[in-house]
Amino acid sequence: MILIPCPHCGERNSNEFAYIGETNPRPAMTSIDAPGEWRRYLYEKRNPAGWSAEQWFHASGCRKVVVTVRHTVSNEVRWAGLPGDDIPAELT
Amino acid sequence: MGRAEGPFGAGRAMSWRRNGHDGRGAKPPTYSALSLLRHGLAHGDWPKVWRSVDLERRYDAVIIGAGVHGLATAYYLASRHGIANVAVVDKGYVGGGGSGRNTAILRSNYLTPEGVRFYDRSVQLYRTLAADLNFNVMFARRGHLTLAHNDGSLRTMRWRAEVNKLQGVDSEVIAPEEIKRLVPFMDVSSHTRYPILGALYHPPGGIIRHDAVNWGYARAADALGVQIHQNTEVLGIATEAGRVTGVSTNRGEISAPVVVNCTAGWASLVSEMAGVPLPIITHPLQAAVTEPVKMFLATVVVSGSLHVYVSQTDRGELVFGASTDPYASYSMRGSLEFTEELAGHVLELMPSIAKMRVLRQWAGLCDITPDFSPIMGITPVDGFLVDVGWGTYGFKAGPAAGEAMAELVATGKTPGIIAAFDLARFEEGRLASERGAAAVGH
């Protein structure tokens, strides 16, 4: 079981959440290589075996998007916040 | 024995050892009823089926991953193309990844013509594999049922049946009464939560013993001169001016003009070492097995809506698989949620097995691509080839993928059967979507 410390609801089982995926900032669409940037944005994930910043939708709770820093091998969650929060750099 | 120009060698001559042991080891004995009897009477130990040798500095090709894909590639390289100076390296042991963690189901009832063609080739190779490898892989043609619990899936079944028939693959949609005849224990009544409306019946589908497939390929490849190096982890992939030059491992450097990534779970991380990003997200998939009971379930039963597939092995255990875990992870631990959900779903289909006990559960890693089709062939780095992104259907594809990858390594030309699954399709916008037939619950 993965416990996610939801900023609104407290520690909850991950099966209350819909997994969205790695945090993935949208490309600015200013460069000449816009299609290439969109392809990378859509398809190429970091898929790390280690700490990863991710988004979850708390479907069976507050129905808000939550951002976590989770270890993809041990499934330990060591940080949770809201979209727009600054993730401490040393955590990812 | 001759010297030939390597397709990826760019003028480099490769010494290709044909059929050959070349003093690289003694040929292992052939398995037969007679040899079994002789060993039984003599109480002699069976010789080791593959050798343990020192890592050499140079090979004609290095294959990363000693699972069914890597070993099949090595075997077909040696047996069909006479390229035996090949090392198969694995950070763990033979068949320790997805090749030994899957639920060993074989089928070819896919949705796209490319997919059907490809998996049918694999089923054909599996059918004669025991004789080809002189190793009993216990292939059992049991028939494969994919249940439809709603109109939408029944429509997809009809679509799949027609695509299959056009490719010469035996598939048809059958009614609940016929399902009941094939699986008497199934609850096909209309008062269940998800009533069964019909099923896609695929008679050529079946099960096989996955460990035997890995060991059989390893033994046969080794007999042809291929070296299998277990506990040999690739730490880096060396490239020079856009082409691959070798790999560095925890046991030293190896130089090779061709490096094939045949890993599952670690495919994107291994490719990243060569500077090739892959559109892959790794999800665990959990499976479980019950205590053995007398044979009662002849066919393989799959239910997409209930996220479960069941088959009974020749030993009598029921093997259950599910959909992938709903988040990216490299964790191979089982979870209680999984067992609970799985048991609930299985009992909806077959209430009479409520007293059976689960013996063990485990997880394997699935590399999921955006279109649920694999990625096979060349990459922007010359000589660095991939056979990855197999999601939940890598095991059943092993022989055909190995055959095609071996041809690609030997000739330098991408075989037609895998052309649709190249890496460039994500850039060029021609995805090969198998979402409707890849597995359950995507």
Q: Which two tokens stand for residue B223?
A: 């007999």
Q: Of the candidates A39, A47, A54, which has its C-beta nearest B427's C-beta?
A: A39
The low-confidence residues of chain A, meaning pLDDT below 70, are none
The count of residues in chain A is 92
CA distance B98 to chain A (A): 16
CA dist., res. B265 & res. B388, Å (int): 9
pLDDT score recorded for residue B8: 52
Which of B329, B333, B336, B430 to probe by mutation at the A interface, max A CB count within 10 Å?
A: B329
Average model confidence (pLDDT) for chain B?
90
Of B5, B1, B2, nearest in space to B257 by CA: B5
Average pLDDT over residues B326-345: 90
What pLDDT does B112 receive? 86
Of B8-17, B293-302, B404-413, B418-427, least confident by mean pLDDT is B8-17
Predicted local distance difference test score (pLDDT) of residue B435: 65
- pLDDT (tens digit per residue) in B268-324: 999 999 999 999 999 999 999 999 999 999 999 999 888 899 999 999 999 999 889
A-chain CB neighbours of B337 within 8 Å are 1, 13, 15
| B234 pLDDT more than 70 | yes
Res. B26: pLDDT tops 60: no
Q: Are A18 and A31 in contact (CB under 8 A)?
A: no
> Which of B:253-292 have CB within 8 Å of A?
266, 268-269, 277-282
- Judge contact between B382 and B244, C-beta under 8 A: yes
Segment 335-374 of chain B within 8 Å of chain A by CB? 335-337, 370
Choice among A78-87, B365-374, B384-393, B425-434 with the minimum mean pLDDT: B425-434
CA distance B183 to B302: 12
Residue B379: band (very low, low, confident or very high) from pLDDT cuts 50, 70, 90:
very high
Residue B16 pLDDT class (50, 70, 90 cuts): very low
Is the Cβ pair B329, A42 closer than 8 Å?
no
What average pLDDT score do residues B230-235 get?
97
Residue B441 has pLDDT above 80, yes or no: no
Q: What are the start-end ranges of the H helices in B350-429?
A: 394-411, 425-428
The per-residue pLDDT for B155 is 93
**Cβ contact A14–B327 (<8 Å):** yes
Q: In A1-92, which ranges are continuous DSSP H helix?
A: 34-43
Please, what are the domains in chain A? 3-26+37-91 (3.30.2270.10)
Residue B207 pLDDT: 95
Q: For chain A, list residues whose CB is within 8 angstroms of any CB belonging to chain B.
A: 1-2, 13-15, 18-19, 21-22, 36, 39-40, 42-45, 47-49, 52, 54, 72-75
Whole-number Å distance between alpha carbons of B28 and B79: 16
In chain B, % of residues over pLDDT 70 = 92
Q: What's the pLDDT at B27?
A: 61
Beta-carbon separation of A49 and B281 below 8 A: no
pLDDT digits (tens, 9 = 90+) for B61-119: 999 999 999 999 999 999 999 999 999 999 999 999 999 999 999 999 988 888 889 99
- Across the range B331-337, mean pLDDT stands at 88
Query: Å from B428 to nearest chain A CA?
Result: 10
Contact (CB<8Å) A47/B268? yes
Per-residue pLDDT, B28: 66
Higher pLDDT, B249 or B45: B249
Span of A41-45, B18-22, B46-50 with lowest mean pLDDT? B18-22
DSSP-derived secondary structure letter, A91:
G
B324 in contact with chain A, both atoms CB, cutoff 8 A:
no
Domains of chain B by range and CATH?
1-14+55-140+206-279+370-442 (3.50.50.60), 141-205+281-368 (3.30.9.10)
What digits encode the pLDDT tens for the residues B29-40? 788 999 888 888
Contact B328 A42 (CB under 8 A): no
Q: Kindly provide the ipTM of the predicted complex, given to two decimals.
A: 0.93
The band of B413, judged by pLDDT with boundaries at 50, 70 and 90, is very high
Q: Choose among B144, B214, B192: nearest CA to B395.
A: B214
Q: Is the pLDDT of residue B370 over 70?
A: yes
Answering whether pTM is above 0.80, one says yes
Answer whether B426 sits within 8 Å of A43, measured CB to CB.
Answer: yes
Contact check, Cβ <8 Å, B328/A19: yes
Summarised one tens digit per residue, pLDDT across range B178-205 is 999 999 989 999 988 999 999 999 999 9
